[in-house]
Chain A
Amino acid sequence: MISGPIPPHPRLVVEGLLRFHRSRKQGEAAPPAEDPGLPVPSGADFLEEGLELFEQDLVLEEGLAIDFFGKDAGGAPVAVLASEEEEQDELPLRLLDLDAWFRRGRTLPRGLLAQACPALAKVELGHGLRFVLVAHSYESRFLERLQGLDALDLTVLEFGRLRVRGEGLWFLRALPPWDGDRDGRRPLPEGLADEDMRGLVARLMDRVHEIDPRPVIQGDRYHREIWLRGGVHFRVEVDGASVEIRIPEKGQHWILGDEGDIDRILDALLRVELEREALGVPSRDGDAEWESPRRKNGSLSTRSEDSGSGGTLGGRVHLSEEEMAAFFPD
């Protein structure tokens, strides 16, 4: 893991993530330990759910290049641009140039484009180009300029470091309002034509934003997978004019019919959220780390100790046989 105050260039970060992601996809569970100096946020998926990058340093024409090129879950072309703060002055112009290039490209015959640049054949050019910006930090002046570019489809990611029980860990987070969920484009599956149902699903999603204003959404024309606060997961499935909502973790599902269903679904989601692990402590039913004292033979221990890193206030609480017996009088 990285130590020291100087973070690597954002390009290296994306490269590291990409490598990690690929090795994971190929079934290699272990993070690339041979890559010291490359941050790997633990548990984090690659930049965005469903994002696939297949070309590095894609040169479209002289002076116009994309750091990493690929497509998102919906097949739209994505340009990932990684920059240091000093490079951000030129970024807005570059974004506009790239956007213009893709708009022109859309009007060209597909075969011709693919011949010139095979990577372009793998994406749906009709969707328009999306940008994912990655940096350690952004100057406020730069962010102000970005505000002016609201015709572009931008996702702005920032990465940083956290201290976790004395160990450094990297994280990536999306900056609002460029967190990839603008104008509610994504919550509604395009395949749902019924206007009333669209309204109902839209209201459900509005309410869901109360739990998490920035849910992670993935899916295709007929379904959406939605993750709230990084964990609570539900599914919206379109079948003709009807919509089914599922919470797989709980085995619950509803055919969406009226506002009352929205209340019930929200209530169920809230419950799942409330029951979820906090700080690694299991939900109400307990789990392996925190067994019921009876099962564990009267020995309760803290999470930190189990994981082997000694927090100053953690420690083992041992309940003796007599203490346990006092709770089980018969």
Chain B
Amino acid sequence: MSLQDLLQGRMPRIFDRLRGGRDPSLRLGKGIPTIGVASGKGGTGKTFCTVNLGVLLAGERERVTVLDADLGLGNAHLLLGLRPTKNLQDFLEERSGLRELLQVSKYGVDVLPGGSGISRLCQLEDVEMRRLARSLSGELPRARTLLVDSAAGISPQTLKFLIAADLVLLVVTPEVTSLTDAYAMIKCLHLRGMESRIAVLVNRADDEGQALEAMHRVQEVAKRFLDLHVEGCGWVPEDPAVRGALASRIPIVVRAPHAPASRGLRLCAQRLEEMLIGLPARRTFPSRVPGRSASAFSETGGRGGRRRRTR
């Protein structure tokens, strides 16, 4: 950007473009509530949480789709025991439609597999993102919720996916570096004008005290420095049963529903359900949470949202 560009007023236009959130054609899964799962630091348990929350959010008729946006080393399918032969790379290179990619699992969750190997090099262009967004809403009519499992870190690619979501769920671990990295991610999204809601889930905590302290720290710093309300989505304990579930390729909430991690995940899923009801895209769906009425719907919708998004 040269000074001349600035003087000629190109800056604001370019700035608008950078704020991908403003461009409705870049939103993923129109009509389907979309949750972007992110972290700053890698390995916090994004994929683990995405898949298991997906299983819990899936209903009897309606299904949850996990879009594995880790174009480098997507592995969401591994946790469900799926063996895809194609991945998003095939879609992006127009060798395959989205529906052909869709891996249907036994657990109510379908996966659009991410890339591997060579595809890590790819940058998603806006046109490709638009095509993906169109196909997501056109080709997946049964999807009730879209969960986007993103790659770790603040890459342009990941930001693009997150900005296209209705809700960003940050999965953090209690270590301070995970918290600062998550905050850096929040700040980055905020600076880019993202207006979607942001929630934090603390994974791998030793106990509730540690989890809440971590969560409050992120919330507090975001409030103080960015005047941003970050919602709490609950916590999941460190649990040795996770390992066994991973090796068996059965989601832990199915394989060991009474394990501590499964209990934590269930509470998180409930909280997420409540947040989903508040999402604009969700309004076309009747409330599905047992015992929740239309009034509860508007209550939740009004609460917590930072700013109302205009669409």
Contact = CB atoms under 8 A, between A and B. Distances in A.
B83 interface: yes
Interface in B126-183: 151-160, 163, 176-177, 179-181, 183
Interface string B20-46: 100000000000000000001111000
Nearest to A164: B121
18 contacts: A162-B118, A169-B121, A230-B118, A270-B78, A273-B73, A274-B75, A275-B42, A277-B73, A279-B152, A279-B153, A281-B42, A281-B153, A286-B41, A294-B176, A311-B156, A313-B163, A320-B225, A322-B225
B17 A281 contact: no
Contacts, number: 149
B187 interface: yes
A326 B18 contact: no
A300 B123 contact: no
Interface in A16-73: none
Interface string A160-177: 001111100101010000
Given A293-B181, A317-B184, A327-B179, A279 B71 contact: yes
B155 A314 contact: yes
A319 interface: yes
Contacts of A171: 118
B73 A229 contact: yes
A279 B157 contact: yes
Interface string A286-330: 100010111000001011100000011111010110111011100
Nearest to A320: B225
Q: Chain A contact residues (Cβ within 8 angstroms of B): what range? A: 35 or more
B241 interface: no
Interface stretch (B102-110, B216-224, B278-286, B302-310): B216-224
Nearest to B84: A213
Interface residues of B, number: 54
Interface string B61-91: 0000000001111010010000100000000
Contacts of B225: 320, 322-323, 326
Given A273-B75, A283-B43, A292 B156 contact: no
A284 B42 contact: yes
A278 B191 contact: no
Interface of A: 162-166, 169, 171, 173, 210-213, 229-230, 263, 266-267, 270, 273-284, 286, 290, 292-294, 300, 302-304, 311-315, 317, 319-320, 322-324, 326-328
A312 B18 contact: yes
B243 A267 contact: yes
A326 B221 contact: yes
A64 B121 CA distance: 40
Contacts of A293: 177, 180-181, 184
Q: Which of A162, A212, A274, A294 has the most CB of B within 10 A?
A: A274
Contact of A303 (B17, B40, B153, B243): B153
Given A229-B117, A328-B176, 10 more contacts: A274-B43, A281-B151, A292-B177, A300-B180, A300-B184, A303-B155, A304-B156, A312-B17, A313-B160, A326-B221
Contacts of A282: 42
Contacts of B188: 315, 317
B122 to A, nearest CB: 6
Contacts of B247: 263, 266-267, 270
Interface in B233-265: 243, 246-247, 249
A302 B217 contact: no
A2 B9 CA distance: 36
Contact of A300 (B75, B154, B221): B154
A115 B180 CA distance: 70
B289 to A, nearest CB: 32
B270 interface: no
